[in-house]
Amino acid sequence: MIMQEMEAEKYCFAELRISIYGKSMQEWHKLAEWFKFHKIFSHQIRWMIQIPRLYSVYKKNNIIKNFQEMIDNIFRPIFEVTVDPSVDPELYALLFQIVGFDTVDDESVYEVLHLKHLALSPSQWNEDENPIYAYWIYYIYANLYSLNSLRAMRGLNTFSFRPHCGESGNVDHLATGFLVADGINHGIRLDHNPVLQYLYYLEQIGIAVSPLSNNKLFLQYQRNPFPKFFSRGLNVSLSTDDPLMIHITKEPLLEEYAVATQVWNFSTVDLCEIARNSVRQSSFEEILKKHWIGQNYDSKELDANGRKD
């Protein structure tokens, strides 16, 4: 129904998210079969894979033995089908609809850092607790970087890395995001660190902010730093987060724009620039971006590994 409505409107495009949990290597195959059976394809939609940081839950329930097993469950099937499409033709086809990866969790959960943990490889991480944010993000990034290199060599599409980062919790999450991410979701904790904020500005790393979601979970709407980020020239856009929970109409993104316009007095020119930023941050094909916002739009070229120069 949502896809049909978007196609009828013609000018509405979205990147929707669906989860891969890392509990089993069969998850990818089941997802691909589900996509094929229900014919979930639309010119207006691309898909992001979100990875919930639930290692501790699976470990305590003896679903996995260590962190390496979870990483293998997430990445080995897509490495294998990249090398040999006949291993899983449905998954091979599905990967052309996927444009990026995200990680999601409650960043406000307190993390205990033991220096000995930093020396552990994923196969050695058999602790019951979650790896710290930086450890987790690094290994997702490292596997994604290798996967993108392999797929680029074979002339296949690659994937961006845009994790949830800086909605709450320690500001070092944002430092980690700066080092490895193509863009981040939320990022409102940048308001507490001018140096990192300036680095994000210099590199124009995309920051997709969801003020209505932030308002419900962590930060009152009028205290959200979005207008400050925008006026300083950071690459910020408005986005939705859990629209079935947060929003009350069939147009959740329109709600974000409408409320922001009323509360922060954005002009129509401001709204156009915010919408332009959303196109720049997205992982839609380059030809579509040029069609939407012009041949000479400000975009950093991607190298063969899907990373920005």
Q: How far apart are CA 289 and CA 276, in angstroms?
A: 9
Contact 295/251 with Cβ under 8 angstroms? no
Query: What is the rounded CA–CA span in Å between residue 251 and residue 260?
Result: 14
CA 145 to chain centre: 15
What are the φ/ψ torsions at residue 37 (nearest 5 degrees)?
Answer: -65, -40
Q: What is the DSSP letter of 191?
A: G
177: three-class secondary structure by DSSP: helix
Crossing angle of the two packed helices 252-264 and 268-281, in degrees rounded to 10: 140
Helix (H) or strand (E) holding 238: strand 236-238
Cα–Cα distance, 255 to 275 (Å, whole number): 14
> What value, to the nearest 5°, has the Cα angle with vertex 207 and ends 257 and 262?
20
Just list the catalytic residues.
186
Task: Give me the phi and psi of 302, to 5 degrees please.
Answer: -95, 140
Query: What's the CA gap between 209 and 204, in Å, rounded?
Result: 14
Q: How many CA atoms lie within 13 A of 109 on its CB side?
A: 12
Buried b (16+ CB within 10 A) or exposed e, 103-140: bbbebeeebeeeeeeeebebeebeeeebbbbbbbbebb
